[in-house]
Amino acid sequence: MDFEWAQLRERCLVAEDAAVLALNKPAGISVTGERHDTDMVEMAAAQGETLYPVHRIDKVTSGLVLMAKELAAHGELTRQFNKRTAEKAYLAITASTGLPERGVIDLPLSVGRKNRVRIAAPRESIRRDGDTWRVDEADVLAGKNYPSVTEFAALAATDEHTVLALRPISGRRHQIRVHLAWIGHPIVGDPLFDRSGAYPRTHLHSWRLRLDASWRTPPVLDLEAVPEADFWAVGAIPVTTDPAALLGRAVALTTPTRNL
C-alpha cells in the first residue's frame, strides 16, 4: 500500500493532542519493527515527526494504533498495557458458524518452530466446557508457555461467517488469531492459517481502546476506530447491510462494565 505519511496521517486520524496520536490503520501497513517493510514510525520519521508506539497490531490487522509524541505519555500508557489494565476490544469475521452468543477461550500460548505462536497443548486436548474452551493442566506441553484468555460475543452470522466482538484479556502476540483458529473458527483471510490468497485482507480490526491519561480532562483516552467498508466485505459480499447497527449492538454488549 503506497501512501505518503501526510496523506496517511490525515486520512486515518482518530484523535490527537499534544501528547498522543491515534490512527485507524489500514490493513497491510506495519506499525514498526517489521523486517523488509516500511512502517508507520519510519514514514513519520522521514518527514521529521518522532512517534513512540504505545502498542502494536499486526500488519494484516486494521484499526486503532496509539502512538505517543512525548516520552512521558509513552511511559504512562505502556505501563497500562504491561499491567493489562488497558481496555481493548477487537472485531473479527470468522470463516465459520456455530459459535455461542458469548464465550471464553482460555488456552495458553507458546512459541513453536520458526517462531510461530501456537497453543501450548496438543490440538486434540482442547475441550469445550459449556461456552469456555480450555485444556487440562496435565496436557500443557513442557517448556515456556503463557496463560492467555480471550472473551468474545457473537454479533451476527450468515450461512458461512460470524462477526465477533472480542476482548483479549492477556494481549499476547497473535492471541486472537491463534485462539480462534485452534478452536476451529479461523479469521477470514488470515495468512497464518489460510495460504490460498483468496481474500484481499485479514478480517481482524482493532476497534476500541480505553486508557487512563493524566494530562487530559477528564483524565482518560476513550478511542474508537470504525472499520472501513473493506472489513465488512468478505470477498464481494458484505456480512451486514447495516454496520452502524451492528457496532451499536457491540457497544451495548461492552457498556457500562465493558466486559463482553
Indicate which residues carry an active-site annotation.
Answer: 58
* DSSP secondary structure string for all residues of 220-260: EEEEE-PPPHHHHEETTEES-S-HHHHHHHHHHHHSSS---
Closest CA to 109 of 49, 174, 62: 174
Contacts of residue 255, defined as CB under 8 A and 6 or more positions apart, other chains included, come to none
Cα 251 from Cα 245, distance rounded (Å): 10
DSSP per position, 62-80: EEEEEEESSHHHHHHHHHH
Quote the CA–CA distance of 188 and 82 in Å, as a whole number. 29
Residue 218 neighbours by CB distance under 10 Å? 7
